[in-house]
Structure 1
Amino acid sequence: MLQGYKVRIIANACITRYENGERAMDSIVGYYNQTEEITKSIKEEILIRVPTMDFEATE
């Protein structure tokens, strides 16, 4: 399991990439190739920062 600060760093990187129009958030999160448990933690952190995030939609 990643430490909390690493999850926050990856979540912030995902948000930045999404805001730059790279692709769907689900695809961006999947790029980091983490376990299901870590992916869930990253998505939860993203939802804390951006509560309206739709992981399948592009911007």
Structure 2
Amino acid sequence: MQSGLKANGYYADTLTGVADEDTRAALSQMQKDNSLKVTGTITTEVLDADLAPKFYPVLSSLRRR
């Protein structure tokens, strides 16, 4: 999650793999910028969005079909 956010300019901190406050803030901004419900968490809406492979390459396999 952090690597996708970082690659797209939303996350600037060190990649830790922990969904900390900075990660949630970055995810919230990405959601806002893409007209998604802002939760700061990975929701079904995020996984279903066309953005999932871009921001969450590992999680894209979990997308609903």
TM-score normalised by the chain length of structure 1: 0.34
Larger helix percent: 1
The structure with higher relative contact order (CA 8 Å, sep 6+) is 1
TM-score normalised by the chain length of structure 2: 0.32
